[in-house]
Amino acid sequence: MDFNDDHYALFGLPRIFRLDTSALDRRYREIAAQVHPDRFAQAGDAERRLSLQWATRVNEAYQTLKKPLSRAQYLLLLAGHDVGAENNTAMTPEFLMEQMEWREAVAEARLAREQGELEQLHHRVKQCMSSRYEQLAGLLDDQHDDLLATDRVRRLMFLEKLLFDIDDAIAALEA
C-alpha cells in the first residue's frame, strides 16, 4: 500500500463507476483497522503522526468512492477531465428550463407548506437521478466517453443541490 496510490488502488478495486460498494466497505474496514491511530497510541510521535495521516487518507478515499457523484468526479479527474463546475456552468437551454421548473415547483410547495408535494418532488428527483446515474455508468464504464460524462456529472450536481433544497424545505416544515 503506497500513500500516493489513487483511491481505487488504495482499496485494491478496479477503476470503474459501477463499484462493488460491499467490497469497498469491507476493504475500508480492513485498512482502517490497520492504520487506526489507537493501534499506535504507544508508538513514537512519528509513527502516531503517520498513522493519523493514513487514517485521514483512507477516510477521504472511502468517502469519495462511496458516493456516486464524487466517485464519478474522481474517475473523470483521474482521466484528466476536471468537471470544473465552479467555472463551467454552461448548460443547454432545455436543461436550464427543466431546472427552473423544478425550482418553481419546490418554491410553490414550500410556500404553500405542502409537505406531501415536496415528498413527491423528492421522489421524482431521486428517480430522475437514478436514471441519470445509470446513463453515467454506461458513459464511464462502457463507452469511455469522458467528455459527455463530464457534462452529465455537472447536470447531476444541479440535481443533487435541488434534492438538498427539497430536503431542507421538508425539514423546515417539520420543525
Locate the domains of the chain by residue range: 7-66, 93-174
Rounded distance, CA 31 to CA 52, Å?
13
Architecture of domain 93-174: Up-down Bundle (1.20)
Architecture of domain 7-66: Orthogonal Bundle (1.10)
Task: Retrieve residue 166's grid coordinates.
Answer: 427539497
CB 172 within 8 A of CB 110: yes
Rounded distance, CA 146 to CA 144, Å?
6
Whether 7-66 shares its CATH topology with 93-174 is answered no
Helix intervals (H) in 43-139: 45-66, 68-78, 93-111, 115-137
Rounded distance, CA 24 to CA 27, Å?
5
Buried b / exposed e over 78-117, threshold 16 CB at 10 Å, is eeeeebeeeeeeeeeeeeeebbeebeebbeebbeeeeeeb
In tens digits, the chain (175 residues) has pLDDT values of 666 789 999 999 999 999 999 999 999 999 999 988 777 777 788 887 888 899 999 999 999 999 999 999 999 999 999 887 556 567 889 999 999 999 999 999 999 999 999 999 999 999 999 999 999 999 999 999 999 999 999 999 999 999 999 999 999 999 8
Task: Retrieve residue 142's grid coordinates.
Answer: 462502457
| pTM, rounded to two decimals | 0.88
